[in-house]
Amino acid sequence: MNNKPKLSDLPGIGPASIEKLEKAGIYEVMSVATMVPSTLSETSGISVSTARKAILAAQEMCDLGFVSGNKFEDDMNTIFGISTGSKEIDNLLGGGVKSRAMTEAHGQFGSSKSQLGFTLAVNVQIPKEKGGVEKECVFIDAEGTFSPSRIREIARERGLDEEKIISGIHVARAFNSDHQMLLVDKITDLIKEGHDIGLVIVDSLTTHFRVDFQGRGQLADRQQKLNRHMHDLINLAYEHNFAVYVTNQVMANPAQLFGDPTTAIGGNIVGHTATYRLYLRRAKQGSRLAKLIDSPDMPDGEAVYYVGKRGIQDEID
């Protein structure tokens, strides 16, 4: 018997409210439990006071309190890693790009941020018998960078079925920051339809937020919205155990008098929310350099890699 709580079990949540929630991509009681009253009210059409009661009920149903260290350890053991294509970068990250976490890569144009995304989109689908996780990918394309021909080439060079690989990637072009946030909500629809999502890629994270919110007067609004977007991604990743990889743009910091003045867009919001942060840049003789600048469990370090026919790789073609 399935005793999993349903949205209809929540006080004040009737058929009309459920329909609105599901249109917004909210199907689980856990999703309601982690919402704030104003957001639930706006989404479902109920009053703020009723939303508050529904959230409290959802939190009780989902048992969001403390768990034993053993139980937490068991949950952590379900985390998997996706190979970047480079053993050097995989080691830098402690086993590839990990599920239930967000890995952010920033760097200048041509530093291979998108190429890393393409390689991950292929590698997440590697069959389990070949050491992969055999899951599907969601690719939110905010810059028009997604390249089916490049995906096919990487799959083909890695000895994989390119037709199967390309069909295992769910692509959507984001046209503005609101649309980008909406597409994150739509990930739940794919999961409900039975798609086993193992990776979500956003390329790039901050492009539309920079365009939609210009000038210092709108900086606070931009950061607040970006913060919500990133936390929506993290919460979904944790709930459904998939990995998130986001690319980010950079700018030159005029206050940096010595050393590399390159700074990632997004400030502390991106810095504090991303679990792992990589700085990618061109290096000597066609190589690239990945520098791990933030991680909860790995020391800072660097890895040399190349971009070739197989995507991200440890040797030059």
pLDDT of amino acid 66: 84
CA–CA dist 185, 24 (Å, integer): 6
Q: How many domains does the chain have?
A: 2
Q: What is the CATH number of the domain that holds 48?
A: 1.10.150.20
Does 302 lie in the same domain as 189? Answer: yes
What is the separation of C-alpha 86 from the centre of its chain, rounded to a whole number of angstroms? Answer: 20
- Whether 83 is covered by a domain: the verdict is yes
Does 278 lie in the same domain as 174? Answer: yes
206, pLDDT greater than 50: yes
Sign for the pseudo-dihedral over CA of 65, 101, 267, 211: negative
- Whether 70 is covered by a domain: the verdict is no
pLDDT of amino acid 1: 39
- Whether 204 is covered by a domain: the verdict is yes
Does 88 lie in the same domain as 50? Answer: no
The pTM of this model reads: 0.85
CA–CA dist 295, 94 (Å, integer): 10
pLDDT of amino acid 259: 56
- Whether 159 is covered by a domain: the verdict is yes
DSSP 286: G
Q: Could you tell me the residue range of the domain that residue 233 belongs to?
A: 75-313
Does 187 lie in the same domain as 82? Answer: yes
- Whether 4 is covered by a domain: the verdict is no
Does 186 lie in the same domain as 100? Answer: yes
Does 86 lie in the same domain as 45? Answer: no
Does 145 lie in the same domain as 117? Answer: yes
Does 163 lie in the same domain as 93? Answer: yes
Out of 62, 88, 107, pick the residue that ends a domain: 62
22, pLDDT greater than 80: yes
Does 199 lie in the same domain as 224? Answer: yes
pLDDT confidence bin for 10, thresholds 50/70/90: very high
Out of 62, 88, 105, pick the residue that ends a domain: 62
- Whether 68 is covered by a domain: the verdict is no
Q: How does pLDDT run across 53-71, given as a tens digit for each residue?
A: 999 999 999 877 788 899 8
Does 211 lie in the same domain as 79? Answer: yes
- Whether 3 is covered by a domain: the verdict is no
- Whether 69 is covered by a domain: the verdict is no
Q: How does pLDDT run across 259-316, given as a tens digit for each residue?
A: 566 789 998 999 999 999 999 999 999 999 999 999 999 999 999 999 999 999 999 9
Q: H or E element: which one contains 138?
A: strand 136-141
Q: How does pLDDT run across 121-173, given as a tens digit for each residue?
A: 999 999 999 999 999 999 999 999 999 999 999 999 999 999 999 999 999 99
Does 235 lie in the same domain as 268? Answer: yes
Q: What is the CATH number of the domain that holds 186?
A: 3.40.50.300
pLDDT of amino acid 113: 98
Residue 266, sorted as left (phi over 0), alpha (psi -120 to 50) or beta, turns out to be: left
Q: Among candidates 131, 100, 133, which has minimal Cα distance to 200? A: 100
Does 214 lie in the same domain as 170? Answer: yes
Burial 203-228 (b: 16+ CB within 10 A, else e): bbbbbbbbeebeeeeeeeebbebbbe
